[in-house]
Every structure is written in structure tokens, then in C-alpha cells.
Amino acid sequence: MTLEHWKEEILNSFTWINDRRISNGPCEGKNDYVKKILSNANGMSNFQRVRNRILYSQNKYETYTMNEHTDRIKRMGNPREAYKK
């Protein structure tokens, strides 16, 4: 039953294009990388900043200018006080 239902998808997994098999490995790698960035962020306090970090890390060969964005992404707040033991 399962084999009959998924027959076309199973046969498509053996398709070759330009001497390479089609695989979802590259997509899974990118998803895993994004999950690592999000786990290192320890929760998103600033969505725009995390989004920019993900896009920048995934598009290494793109060029950027300093005047591209005028919005301030970094959250401004009170500076931390000295640590007291």
C-alpha cells in the first residue's frame, strides 16, 4: 500500500540532472544553519536583527552598502551596571 502510494516520489529520487542526483540535502543544511543561529540568539529580542544575520550569512557573495538601510536595528537602552558580588 505505501509503496504504491509513494511510487512516483520514490522513482523521482533516482533522477539524475547534470550528473548529480536530486537531493534535499542542501535545503536541510540551510535549515539546520538557521536553527543554529536562532539557538545561539537565546530567543529573539529583536526580530529584524536576527533576520538580517540569517540573510547575510546565507548570501555570502552579495554586496552591501553602508547607506542601504536607514533604520536603526540595534536596540538602545540603559547601559548595564557594574556586577556586584
Q: Express each pLDDT in 16-62 by its tens digit.
A: 888 888 778 888 988 998 888 888 877 777 788 888 888 888 887 77
Let me know if residue 44 belongs to a domain: yes
Q: What per-residue confidence (pLDDT) applies to 71?
A: 65
Buried-exposed string 22-39: b where 16+ CB fall within 10 A, e elsewhere? eeeeeeeeeeeeeeeeee
Let me know if residue 50 belongs to a domain: yes
Q: What per-residue confidence (pLDDT) applies to 24?
A: 81
Q: What per-residue confidence (pLDDT) applies to 77?
A: 73
pTM of the model: 0.50
Let me know if residue 75 belongs to a domain: no
Domain that holds residue 45: 24-58
Domain count, the chain: 1
Let me know if residue 74 belongs to a domain: no
Q: What per-residue confidence (pLDDT) applies to 70?
A: 62
Let me know if residue 38 belongs to a domain: yes
User: CA 37, 42, 43, 46 torsion: positive or negative?
Assistant: negative
